[in-house]
Structure 1
Amino acid sequence: MSWHLGRLCGFDLETTGVDVEQDRIVTACVVQCGGNAPVQSATWLADPGIDIPEGAAKVHGITTEHARAEGRPAAEVVEQVVTALVQVANHGIPIVAMNAAYDLTLLEREAERHGVTGLFASAVPLVVDPRVLDKRVDQYRRGGRKLEDLCRTYGVRLDGAHSADADAIAACRVAWRIARQHPEIGKASLDELHEAQVGWAREQAEGLAAHFRNTPGKESWADGVRTEWPLIPAPRAGGDA
């Protein structure tokens, strides 16, 4: 059976910012769907332990005051999210995450920060990234490549964008549509697809870095483009990653 016809696990974080080395989890969702079984969704609100910048709060709607009043301890949330993902990974269910290298890397850094054994040390997750897939199958399409853009492109309804639960289920639906429309994606085994995405993500990142180097005023941005997927290695002590 094609992977997209079986069970999928959507994963999404909303965070304090976009730096995987410094920022923290605010909300998280792990949702299982598909495979002719009921949807199972778990969501978390964390007190990240630091102030949530106003810009981030405007995106996901969670203020520092809200998180401190109603959020659970960050270490507890991180441990439970990792446990949920390990369970699905050990059952061979793919983890579907939009821009997976960001969410999975930030989760890994949070696990290290709080003394939790990380996902990649506990399981061998197979990951499906709609962003990587979309750039592979429709490389030259104009316009944005955010989740909202992909939902419009593939006819997926997105209710409550930038809430972790809405984004997680939407990512699964986009991945399903891509797999259905492109047999080379849908018919690949999960192992083959995961390994292919490692290469595709690297090529896509290298292309973006080249674009920055050739764009006046953006040359320095190329240095911040990471090519690793789905996990960015931790920086070495006293040096760069």
Structure 2
Amino acid sequence: MTWSSSARAAFDLETTGRNSRAARIVTASIVVLAADGSVASEHEWLADPGVEIPEEASQVHGVTTEKARAEGRPAADVVAEVAAVLQGLFNDGVPVVAFNAAYDFTVMAAECARHGLPQLTRFPVLDPYVINKQVERYRKGKRTLGALCEQYGVVLRDAHTSAADALAAAQLLDAMASRFPELNKPATALHRSQVDWSLEQAADFQSYLRRTKPAAVVEGDWPVLAPADASRGGF
């Protein structure tokens, strides 16, 4: 059975920063979709990350330190609940769609380690970002969620809120599969392909960067980055 003809879910985080190994969760959303793409259930969380939320991050997702402290739940509770829902989906064989999955799942890996929780199995995952770089290798312009949604005619309302971004990522993947029928395969097979594609894409980009920056390193691990060296603190 192909992923596009079965139930699937979508996952997104908004966080305190761009460094996925150091960022803390601010909001999280998981949207579960029926086989026909309709929304079957939704889960949303607002966390108090326990650290200051930089203004740059607040400007993106709209959650300030004050709001998180006043309305958010303890980070440990939120991380545990998000992890439990995700692992339940994976246990049931439900693929989880996440745009630029290596960011979100690396944040989750770091947060689970921080709070003494088991790591997720993270299988199967479907990532429209990695997939788009494969099927439209020579596409020009940005590959942000917003740019790709505009290209594929997906309406993205309330961009940079985790609920809106999660649903848009799932709808984007549906639209891409309509244009590229070869993507309609079992989620497990597509997951394994993305592992290889991400490594190849990173190697190509690293080669390009090293023309002018010989020490450039582009990580290609997917759907989660490898833990940092112990000297850097790891997860």
TM-score by structure 1 length?
0.92
Q: Deviations over 1:196-220 (max 9, x none)?
A: 00011111111222222224xxx27
Unaligned 5+ residue runs, structure 2? none
* Deviation of 1:183 (Å): 1.5
Following the alignment from structure 1 to structure 2, what is the Cα–Cα distance between the partners of residues 201 and 163?
Answer: 26
* Counterpart contact for 1:208–1:222, Cα < 8 Å: no
Q: Which residue of 2 aligns with 1:70?
A: 71
Could you tell me how far 1:236 is from its partner in structure 2? 3.5
How far did residue 35 of structure 1 move?
Answer: 1.0
Task: Please give the alpha-carbon distance, in whole angstroms, between the structure 1 residues aligned to 2:199 and 2:181.
Answer: 22
The equivalent residue for 2:196 is 199
Q: Does the C-alpha gap of structure 1 residues 240 and 66 become closer, same or farther in structure 2, counting only changes over 3 Å?
A: closer
RMSD: 1.7
Change (3 A) 1:205 1:240: farther
Residue aligned with 1:222, SS: coil
Match of 2:21 in 1: 21
2:167 is aligned with 1:166: no
Shift in Å at residue 189 of structure 1?
A: 1.7
Distance 2:40 2:168 in 1: 13
CA distance, structure 2, for counterparts of residue 151 and residue 221 of structure 1: 34
Q: Distance in 2 between matches of 1:221 and 1:49?
A: 35
Q: 229-238 or 6-15, which moves further after superposition?
A: 229-238
Output the CA distance in 1 between the equivalents of 2:205 and 2:128.
Answer: 17
Per-residue CA shift, 1:2-61, capped at 9, x if unaligned?
Answer: 211211110000000011221101000011013146431101000001100010000000
Pick aligned residue for 2:222 from 214, 219, 229: 229
The 2-side partners of 1:20 and 1:136 are apart by 23
The percent of aligned pairs where both chains have the same amino acid is 44
* Deviations 1:108-163 (CA, angstroms, capped at 9, x unpaired): 1101101111212xxx5200000011111111111100100110111100000000
Cα distance in 1 for partners of 2:40, 2:145 equals 21
Q: Distance in 1 between matches of 2:54 and 2:215?
A: 23
- Give the distance between the partners of 2:215 and 2:100, measured in 1 at CA: 18
- Who is 2:51 aligned against? 50
Give the C-alpha shift of residue 231 in structure 1: 1.2
SS at match of 1:119: coil
Residue-pair matches, total: 233
Q: Which residue of 2 aligns with 1:2?
A: 2
Q: Distance in 1 between matches of 2:2 and 2:214?
A: 42
Aligned partners of 1:89, 1:239: CA distance in 2, in Å? Answer: 30
Q: Is the 8 A contact 1:209 1:221 kept in 2?
A: no
Contact 1:10 1:32 in 2 (8 A): yes
- Following the alignment from structure 1 to structure 2, what is the Cα–Cα distance between the partners of residues 240 and 75? 19
Q: Distance in 2 between matches of 1:16 and 1:220?
A: 31
